[in-house]
Amino acid sequence: MVLLSILAYIVTLGVLVTVHEYGHFWVARRLGVKVLRFSIGFGRPLYSRTFGADATEFSICALPLGGYVRMLDEREGPVEPAEVHRAFNRQSLATRTAVVVAGPLANFLFAVIAYWAMFVHGVAGIAPIIGEVRPDTPAAQARLLPGDRILSVEGDPVPTWEAAIQRLVERVLEAESVRLEIRSANGHERAVTLDLGALHVDDVGRGELLQRLGTLPQSVRIEPVIGRIVAGSPAERAGLAPADRVLYADGEKVTDFADLVRRVQERPGEPVVFIVDRAGTQLELSVRPDSVPQGARYIGRIGAGHDPAAVIDEREAAVERYDVLTALLHGVDKTVTIAGMTVGVMGRMLVGQASVENLSGPIAIAEYAGRSALFGVTAFVSFLAAVSISLGVLNLLPVPPLDGGHLLNYLVEFVQRKPLSEAAQMRLLQMGLMLLMILTAIALTNDLARATLNG
């Protein structure tokens, strides 16, 4: 898994950095600016060659942490008089702005194309059917019931849970409630209003949206049938055997294997009386779970696993697919929506309404890349699109040396009819670098904290 995560991270960074820098490169060339180097990564070149009439150098370097396009510029070295007109610093404000904006726009365009291709091909998912509704929660107050199928969120059809969750996340950032169209298990359709007032943007960042709403999707159910038994374990000592079906634990009916695990975990070191069905005969067995540490508490464990043949998948498969034009519109919509949500979360972090724990660094990105790659091409392309949008938004932040920092300088130049002084630009650059270092440190700290917690 570690090797896969590293490889997926390198592919992710290579693709998205190339897309971003190619945006700068393509527009610069079209507007007459000479490009000296197109580099993927930093540091010592691992591969390098020149191409084109301008002998532009293309390089792949040792540190896969970004990339850059180096253009002819009098501020970076002497320029031949015959080529002064092609220097970046000599270009009009409109040309310089177009070249800088092209990088982030290329990232957004990549996301649109990726989502378009996915929607044309069809995105496999799980139908948004509710499997559990917890009492005293927004879902219960909205009178949602197990077996209800979500048809639309605020009028937008949602064929899969992924589509439903995206629409719900949008409303968490925008409103206090959301309107759902529901089809009950008996076929009756109705509208309900789900209260979002108690939710926080951090719930979304932690992936706890549905839990906080008080509902869970219809899911895989495992019958309480014993499969493997660990040698020398409490289960073996008590006489449990493979194929035993646990009917009762301390007189209470066991509904599935998850229920059995919960009951065992709640009784570390204390005997639990099982009634099991063994080939049609009911037996009474007393099992004393081992007491094992888990975080700050102890849980019970008996050393028994479930029977793989007892897994019952109650989920209903669904596919989100559109015609070519509709898929393009959905691709644009999804890109704009995710970009807007990203900006919204960043804004809330800035004013203290969202935790900086939402920031992720290279370790988390590598982990997510590896996981998405495990689920296949569609999942990995979706991940690439989402990260491409984040990269585009990040680069538009008005912080030197990001693209947004350059655009801020150009805005000042437009307003005051002259560029900022070199001293002012240097001070802004130093402040921007300091801010980026702080954000990077926070993101890495979050990554390490997550890795420690998950490990």
Residue positions annotated with a catalytic role = 21
Burial degree of 53 (CB within 10 A; 0-12, 13-18, 19+): exposed
Cα(25)–Cα(105) distance, rounded to whole angstroms?
A: 12
Dihedral (CA of 302, 306, 312, 317) sign: positive
CA distance 336 to 132: 32
DSSP-assigned states of every residue in 26-95: HHHHHTTPPEEEEEEEEEEEEEEEEETTTTEEEEEEEEEEEEEEEE--TTSS---GGGGGG-GGGS-HHH
3-state secondary structure 313-343: ECCCEEEECCCHHHHHHHHHHHHHHHHHHHH
Give the three-class secondary structure for 260. helix
Work out the burial of residue 41: count CB atoms within 10 Å of its CB; fewer than 13 is exposed, 13-18 middle, 19 or more buried.
Answer: buried
CA distance 63 to 120: 36
Strands 35-51 vs 177-183: parallel, antiparallel or unpaired: unpaired
User: Which backbone phi and psi does 148 adopt, to 5 degrees?
Assistant: -65, 140
The torsion defined by the Cα of 312, 313, 315 and 321, in degrees rounded to 10, comes to -160
Tell which phi-psi region holds residue 8, choosing left (phi > 0), alpha (psi between -120 and 50) or beta: alpha
* Peptide bond preceding 398 in cis form (omega within 30 of 0): no
Query: Position of tokens 């982990």?
Result: 367
- Residue whose tokens read 């390098």: 48
| Radius of gyration from C-alpha coordinates of the chain | 28
Neighbours of 344 (CB within 10 A): 17
Characterize 288-324 residue by residue with b for buried, 16 or more Cβ atoms within 10 angstroms of its Cβ, and e for exposed. bbbeeeeeeeebbbbbbebbeebeeeebeebebebee
Residue 123 backbone dihedrals phi, psi, to 5 degrees: -100, 110
Helix ranges restricted to H, 155-248: 161-174, 201-205, 209-213, 234-238
CB distance 382 to 334 below 8 Å: no
